[in-house]
Every structure is written in structure tokens, then in C-alpha cells.
């Protein structure tokens, strides 16, 4: 283990680029994870570790013991306090970072339960919304989240933070809208798409079947393929003056109504 204190060091440069540049994460098929909690979740849910970064000026004995016991035979770098704080959110941290291999998030690796219940988000733009959707999906025990035509890189640091670890615990797949619709049809999964116009009240839909809840962005509606291929277009009745809700809030309302029906049967 070598102590690193210079920003010109190639290891620091590599880690910094992976943290702050989406294209570097995509090209290297890897991303950065902060703190022992998220690193533990990565390990428990089958992510591959590439390198470990510690800050010996911050890290506690308990975290050192965790590394030695659970992350053996992985390269470890020791960054100075100044360098480490350049990499962690709001300059806070527990002295532990990890470089982790991204998973293959293709549909072929998405495993379905006997009666699938899936959340699908089309082209979410804000990493925070993706994180919030993952937390909702995890809380409801869904099969997972499928992202159609993604506009942001999945392992963005803001997505990881907003997910509170659920990005590691949940199944996630990404594909085009057409590919996802065909996948759902092939597996006899009903498509319930949230849409304001020409739709049924979400309370009047039968969720006690294999089904997928589809949500679009807050700024625009779902694309035409969802509108023509869905089994149901559903909406949430609005009592006030506004005609839309936050993406994760609207998804949660529908998902937990479906969960109630499924638990009652």
C-alpha cells in the first residue's frame, strides 16, 4: 500500500475522472462507491471490486478490520486527507472508497418472479429521481426497475446517494422502449402506463397479475409506443390546481395501491 498525496498521481487522476465524468465511467465499466455501508451492500449483492482507497488519517479500526476480513487480495491505495476530501460528498466520509465494476444491466439478466411486478421509467433525466424510484421499488419488493432509453448514466454519484443503497440491492435493466415492450409482451406482463389523458383512475385497475407500472418524465409525457401498446392508461385523480406530481411520488402511489391488492389476495 502506497501513500498518495499529490493530485498529479495517476491513481488519483483516474479515480477523480471516474467520479466526475460520466463518459469515463461508461468507458471503463466501473464507478466509485463511498462509505462502508454502500461498500458492504456492493459485496453482499455480488459486485466485483477493483481497487480500494482509504484515508489513514480518517479511517477507523473497525473499517480497517472490515477490509482485511472481507476484501482480501484487492489493491489498496492510501490517499492523504486533502486528496480524499476532494473525492467525497461535502468533504465528509468514513475514510473508505471503492472502485467497483458495473454490472451488465441488459434485459437478458433480469430475473422474473412467478407473478412479476415491475417499475419502468422512460428516459428519466435527473439522477435524484432514479435514486428515489429505486428506493420505492425496493420498499415495495418489486422485481426491479427497468429504464427505457436512459438519458443519464446509471452509476452517477448523485443516483447512488439518492438511492440510499437500493441501487445495489435492486435488479436494474436498461434497454430501448421497443425492446422493453417486446420483452413484456413475450412474458405476458400487462403494461399499465401513467398518462393524464384518456386514462382510467389507477384505483380501478387490477394489479393482482403480472404487470409493469410505466412512468414518464415530469417534463413530458410517455412516448407513443407506450400509449399504443399499453393494456391500460392510468392516472391519479388530482384535487387541486396542479396536474402532475413528482415522478417518484406518483410512482409510489400507484405501486403501493397495486401492492395492497396483491397482498389482499
Residue 218 has a pLDDT of 64
pLDDT at 125 over 90: no
User: Measured in whole angstroms, how far is the alpha carbon of residue 251 from the centre of its chain?
Assistant: 15
Confidence grade of residue 242 (pLDDT, cut at 50, 70, 90): low
Q: Count Cβ atoms within 10 A of the Cβ of residue 106 and give its class: 0-12 exposed, 13-18 middle, 19 or more buried.
A: exposed
Q: What is the mean pLDDT of residues 2-10?
A: 95
* Same domain membership, residue 91 and residue 163: no
Q: Which of 58, 86, 101 is the last residue of a domain?
A: 101
Q: How far apart are the C-alpha atoms of 150 and 172, rounded to whole Å?
A: 12
pLDDT at 237 over 90: no
* Nearest C-alpha neighbor of 222 from the set 113, 155, 124, 101: 124
Q: What is the CATH number of the domain that holds 38?
A: 3.30.1330.30
Residue 247 has a pLDDT of 86
Q: How far apart are the C-alpha atoms of 68 and 231, rounded to whole Å?
A: 52
Q: What is the CATH number of the domain that holds 249?
A: 3.40.1280.10
pLDDT at 82 over 90: yes
Q: Which structural domain range is residue 117 located in?
A: 107-264
pLDDT at 184 over 70: yes
The pairing of beta strand 190-194 with beta strand 232-235:
parallel
Least confident of 14-18, 239-243, 245-249: 239-243
* Nearest C-alpha neighbor of 174 from the set 152, 193, 146, 138: 146
Residue 91 has a pLDDT of 84
| E strand or H helix at 187 | none
Taking only the tens place, the pLDDT of each residue in 90-113 is 888 899 999 999 999 999 999 999
Q: What is the mean pLDDT of residues 66-73?
A: 93
Confidence grade of residue 260 (pLDDT, cut at 50, 70, 90): very high
The angle formed by the CA atoms of residues 52, 57 and 59, to the nearest 5 degrees, is 50
Q: Which of 84, 101, 118 is the last residue of a domain?
A: 101
Residue 45 has a pLDDT of 96
Is-contact 53 99, C-beta < 8 A? Answer: yes
**Total tally of structural domains belonging to the chain:** 2
Residue 27 has a pLDDT of 87
| Partners of 214 in the β-ladder | 120, 193
Q: Residues 67, 69, 75, 77: is their CA dihedral positive or negative?
A: positive
Q: Which of 65, 85, 101 is the last residue of a domain?
A: 101
Return mean pLDDT, the chain.
92
Query: Which of the two residues, 243 and 168, has the higher pLDDT score?
Result: 168
* Same domain membership, residue 208 and residue 126: yes
* Same domain membership, residue 160 and residue 77: no
* Same domain membership, residue 113 and residue 244: yes
pTM, entire model: 0.93
Q: What is the mean pLDDT of residues 189-193?
A: 97
* Same domain membership, residue 118 and residue 71: no
* Same domain membership, residue 239 and residue 139: yes
Q: How far apart are the C-alpha atoms of 2 and 127, rounded to whole Å?
A: 34
Residue 253 has a pLDDT of 94
Confidence grade of residue 22 (pLDDT, cut at 50, 70, 90): confident
List Cα–Cα distances, 170 to 122, 126, 136, 195, in angstroms: 18, 19, 10, 26
| Partners of 173 in the β-ladder | 146
Amino acid at each position: 500500500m502506497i501513500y498518495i498525496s499529490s493530485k498529479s498521481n495517476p491513481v488519483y487522476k483516474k479515480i477523480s475522472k471516474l467520479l466526475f465524468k460520466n463518459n469515463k465511467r461508461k468507458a471503463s465499466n466501473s464507478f466509485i462507491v463511498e462509505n462502508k455501508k454502500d461498500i458492504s451492500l456492493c459485496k453482499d449483492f455480488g459486485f466485483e471490486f477493483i481497487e480500494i482507497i482509504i484515508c489513514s488519517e480518517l479511517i477507523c479500526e473497525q473499517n480497517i478490520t472490515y477490509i482485511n476480513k472481507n476484501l482480501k487480495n484487492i489493491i489498496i491505495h492510501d490517499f492523504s486527507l486533502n486528496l480524499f476530501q476532494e473525492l467525497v460528498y461535502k468533504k465528509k466520509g468514513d475514510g473508505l472508497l471503492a472502485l467497483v465494476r458495473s454490472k451488465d444491466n441488459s434485459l437478458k439478466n433480469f430475473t422474473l418472479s412467478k407473478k412479476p411486478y415491475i417499475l419502468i421509467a422512460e428516459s428519466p433525466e435527473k439522477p435524484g429521481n432514479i435514486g428515489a424510484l429505486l428506493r420505492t421499488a425496493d420498499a415495495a419488493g418489486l422485481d426491479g426497475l427497468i429504464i427505457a432509453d436512459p438519458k443519464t448514466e446509471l452509476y452517477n454519484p448523485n443516483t447512488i446517494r439518492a438511492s440510499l443503497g437500493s441501487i445495489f440491492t435492486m435488479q436494474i435493466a436498461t434497454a430501448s422502449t421497443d425492446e422493453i415492450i417486446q420483452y413484456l409482451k413475450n412474458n405476458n406482463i400487462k403494461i399499465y402506463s401513467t398518462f393524464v389523458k384518456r386514462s382510467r383512475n389507477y384505483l380501478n385497475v387490477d394489479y393482482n397479475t403480472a404487470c409493469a407500472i410505466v412512468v414518464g418524465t415530469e417534463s413530458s409525457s410517455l412516448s407513443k409506443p407506450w400509449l399504443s401498446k399499453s393494456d391500460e392508461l392510468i392516472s391519479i385523480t388530482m384535487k387541486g390546481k396542479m396536474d402532475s406530481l413528482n415522478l417518484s411520488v406518483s410512482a409510489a402511489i400507484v405501486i403501493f395501491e397495486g401492492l395492497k391488492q396483491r397482498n389482499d389476495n
